[in-house]
Amino acid sequence: MLLDARDMLIKVLTERFGRVRDELSEQIKRIDSHERLKGMLRQALRVKSFEEFGKKVINN
């Protein structure tokens, strides 16, 4: 389930904003909370830019 959630998040980010940096991909792959990944996925679908995603999710 975690692997699928990680892959889905990376796919959504790639589809919406273009290539995902390897550094961010590696960070996502280390997340071991399904709830956190779901929250990040919701934000990836809602935000208008990758910068907004970073402010709301990555920097928290």
Q: 44, 13 in Cβ contact below 8 A?
A: yes
Residue ranges, the chain, pLDDT below 50: none
pLDDT at 12: 97
In terms of pTM, does the model score above 0.95?
A: no
* Residue 55 confidence (pLDDT): 85
Task: Residue 26: give the domain boundaries.
Answer: 2-58
Say how many domains are in the chain.
1
CA Rg, the chain, in Å?
A: 10
| Residue 57 confidence (pLDDT) | 80
pLDDT reported for residue 37: 96
Compute CA distances 57 → 5, 24, 53, whole Å: 16, 12, 6
pLDDT at site 60? 56
